[in-house]
Amino acid sequence: MERKYEVTQPAGGVPIKMWTRGVPVEDEAMQQLANAARLPVVFRHIAAMPDVHLGIGATVGSVIPTLKAIIPAAVGVDIGCGMIACKTTLHANDLPGNLAPLRSAIERAVPHGGGPRSRGRDPGAWDEPPDRVDQAWGGLAQEFEALCELHPRLRQTNNRKHLGTLGSGNHFIEVCLDEEGFVWFMLHSGSRGVGNAIGTHFIALAKKDAEQHQRNLPDRDLAYFEEGARYFGDYVRAVGWAQRFAARNREVMMANLIAAVRKAVRKPFDTHVEAVNCHHNYVQQERHFGEDVFVTRKGAVSARRGEMGIIPGSMGARSYIVRGLGNPESFDSCSHGAGRVMSRTQAKKRFTVADQVRATAGVECRKDAAVIDEIPMAYKDIDAVMRAQADLVEVVHTLKQVVCVKG
DNA sequence: ATGTCC
């Protein structure tokens, strides 16, 4: 296949390989990529996915490999954020004509949302976690206690009561139909408050460490721990734990969601084993070009040859179940979505509730003023995004949502 | 995205 990426090389930095043919890239995002490319710990090159856009410290939609070092702010605070999807034996015509009760059943089964507590109750957490949650927490508790002994402030987080809960912002649950009319469940969530606390804590420590070493950084948010530094090992452990919490969180929600749909839909059904559970905001050790490196995917998905992944479109747009092509130049990665073309504030200014009603026709979901920032027109064209990464992934299934629950 | 001693 022809080469699909373009290369730019900032002065004093490694090359940036960009899979962005035919999609817009902001100047600020280019500047941010150049900052990361100038770090002395970056390995070989940086890969920018077609959904690349401005983030904090590092651009969302980028893959940053580092040698004997790790950048906590590049991973960010939503550690382990990602997607899970599961195909079922249900068909479109097995679903009820009115999907509103199905949406309510899902909303009752999975705590979601947040913001101001109503009557002292947090709708985004369990009052008392059900057995399935406590079993899952059992597999995480011991390592978490060990982390708390090293970093006692982590003990103050809401952890056990947040396992199996969705969160807010762009976290969502969907019931979708694939190209053959089969029903899928899909959801987007991360490591909730505890992952946020881990991220925040170590980002602050990395900044302090950079000040003590008087490192000359292109951006303070690109502070890194070098292997052997005081908190390097603690961060590797903590970020790994938060990623496991996030993956477990998605599994628990999927199980509770399936149980809720079984009660709401009369026809019995099975779920396929081919469930996909992938992070798109994480760091892990991998081998590339003959070296052991830390690969940070900030808004990017692992796409090794044959590996399954999920690329969700926005509310009202299609989503894709993909299979990786294992392109080494992308460090075996692909995009994590469509990517925004305007900020949430801009979207709320530009579009109306009527626009949102039109854009989400046929989807059982909220359509009020509070969700206008998720309108499909605030995102890049997902078809252009998929074309730009045709050498990174192939499409296996195309999903269109019929129910969407927003966090 | 999160949880509120900003």
pLDDT digits (tens, 9 = 90+) for A32-48: 999 999 999 999 999 99
Copy the structure tokens of residue A76. 């960010």
**Rg of the Cα atoms in chain A:** 21
Nearest CA to A397 out of A249, A97, A186 is that of A186
Strand B close residues, chain A 196-255, CB < 7 angstroms: 196-197
Copy the structure tokens of residue A187. 């959801």
Where residue A98 falls among pLDDT bands split at 50, 70, 90?
Answer: very high
Would you say the C-beta of A123 is within 7 Å of strand B? no
Which residue has the closest alpha carbon to B3 C1'? A193
Give the whole-angstrom CA distance, residue A307 versus residue A5. 21
CA dihedral A166, A82, A317, A21 (to 10 degrees): 150
Give strand pairing partners of A85. A186, A276
Compute the C-alpha angle A37/A42/A43, nearest 5°. Answer: 115
Instruction: Domains for chain A: give ranges and CATH numbers.
Output: 6-341+379-406 (3.90.1860.10)
**A197-209 pLDDT tens trace:** 999 999 999 999 9
pTM: 0.96
| pLDDT > 80? residue A149 | yes
| pLDDT > 70? residue A112 | yes
Q: What does chain A come to in residues?
A: 407
Nucleotide nearest A191, CA–C1', reads: B1
Give the whole-angstrom CA distance, residue A169 versus residue A124. 12
Average pLDDT over residues A275-286: 96
Give the whole-angstrom CA distance, residue A51 versus residue A343. 14
CA dihedral A159, A296, A321, A15 (to 10 degrees): 160
